């Protein structure tokens, strides 16, 4: 299985939520350092906005120091985007080991046009706002979004009319994308990440 995390606002906020759920963070500087350790570099003003949008508050921790905390109601303000609480929200970007199909970047670039259309329509904007993570296996790609975002992302994918996509199924915070190619999930996940990162 291939797990990937784009450099989108939703993915960054999922990283923040993962850190705050597992660590006693006393300051924004400390949080920025923890994000940097995971490969996520963010300006202080952006981090302040992220904390506000996530509903983070400072509470007195067990040791008496003020620490950041998030409300815990699933789907509510401050809940983990996409419901991802495991390695998808916490870990750094992981593309898995290089395969024989990935060895030739020239061939991959040439094949890219067959997988994805040009960045037109709403897809790049919607993906940049909503895509938290993408995991591929065989011809399936599982996309995670913040709570309530899956239907919008699936609709943008459907309207993009990619020949490489057979169809989508959306829940509340998860979209299942089925690739036409029986082994095309990993390439499709990378193409979706490129769409999201064009608008970040």
- Pairwise CA distance, residues 88 & 84, whole Å: 6
Q: Quick check: 124 and 191 in contact, CB under 8 A?
A: no
Claim to verify: residue 61 and residue 132 sit in the same structural domain: no
Looking at residue 91, what is its pLDDT?
35
Structure confidence at residue 35 as a pLDDT band (50, 70, 90): very high
Decide which of 58, 90, 122 is a domain's last residue.
Answer: 90
The answer to whether the beta carbons of residues 156 and 96 sit under 8 Å apart is: no
Does residue 87 or residue 154 have the better pLDDT?
154
Percent of the chain with pLDDT over 90: 32
Query: pLDDT at position 105, please?
Result: 34
Q: For residues 117 and 113, what is the distance between their CA atoms, to the nearest angstrom?
A: 6
**Domain residue limits at 60:** 2-90
- Whether 177 has a pLDDT exceeding 60, the answer reads yes
Given 90, 119, 141, the domain boundary residue is: 90
* CA–CA distance, 5 with 92 (Å, rounded to integer): 8
- Residue 173 pLDDT > 60, yes or no? yes
**Overall average pLDDT of the 52-75 stretch:** 75
Domain boundary among the residues 90, 122, 143 is at 90
pLDDT single digits (tens) 74-103? 444 444 444 444 333 333 333 333 333 333
* Mean pLDDT computed over 71-75: 52
Question: Mean of the per-residue pLDDT values for the chain?
Answer: 75
Number of domains within the chain: 2
Name the more confident of 30 and 160: 30
Q: What are phi and psi of 137, to 5 degrees?
A: -150, 120
pLDDT at 170 over 90: yes
Question: Both ends of the chain: CA-CA distance in Å?
Answer: 26
What's the CATH code of the domain at 185?
3.30.1360.40
Q: Which residue has the higher pLDDT, 1 or 37?
A: 37
Domain with 85 in it: what CATH number? 1.10.10.10
- Does any domain span residue 98? no
Distances, alpha carbon 15 to alpha carbons 24, 36, 38, 195, in Å: 15, 11, 9, 20
Residue 51 forms part of a structural domain: yes
Distance CA 166, CA 168 (A): 7
Of residues 109 and 138, which shows the higher confidence score?
138
pLDDT at 117: 57
pTM, two decimal places: 0.55
Q: Calculate mean pLDDT across residues 183-188.
A: 92
User: Looking at residues 55-67, what average pLDDT do you find?
Assistant: 80
Has residue 181 been placed in a domain? yes
Q: Residue 145 domain-assigned?
A: yes
* Structure-model confidence comparison of residues 98 and 132, the more confident one: 132
Percent of the chain with pLDDT over 70: 70
């Amino acid at each position: 299985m291939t797990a990937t995390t784009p450099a989108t606002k939703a993915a960054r906020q999922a990283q923040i939520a993962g850190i705050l759920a597992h660590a006693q963070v006393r300051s924004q500087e400390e949080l920025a350092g923890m994000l940097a350790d995971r490969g996520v570099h963010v300006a202080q003003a952006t981090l302040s906005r992220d904390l506000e949008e996530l509903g983070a508050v400072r509470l007195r921790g067990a040791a008496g120091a003020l620490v950041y905390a998030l409300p815990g109601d699933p789907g509510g303000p401050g809940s983990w985007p996409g419901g991802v609480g495991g390695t998808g929200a916490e870990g750094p970007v992981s593309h898995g080991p290089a395969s024989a199909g990935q060895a030739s970047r020239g061939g991959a670039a040439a094949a890219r046009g067959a997988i994805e259309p040009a960045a037109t329509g709403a897809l790049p904007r919607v993906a940049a706002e909503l895509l938290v993570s993408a995991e591929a296996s065989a011809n399936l790609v599982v996309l995670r979004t913040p709570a309530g975002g899956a239907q919008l992302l699936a609709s943008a994918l459907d309207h993009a009319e990619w020949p490489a996509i057979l169809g989508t199924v959306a829940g509340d915070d998860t979209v299942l994308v089925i690739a036409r190619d029986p082994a095309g999930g990993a390439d499709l996940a990378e193409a979706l990440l490129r769409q999201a990162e064009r608008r970040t």
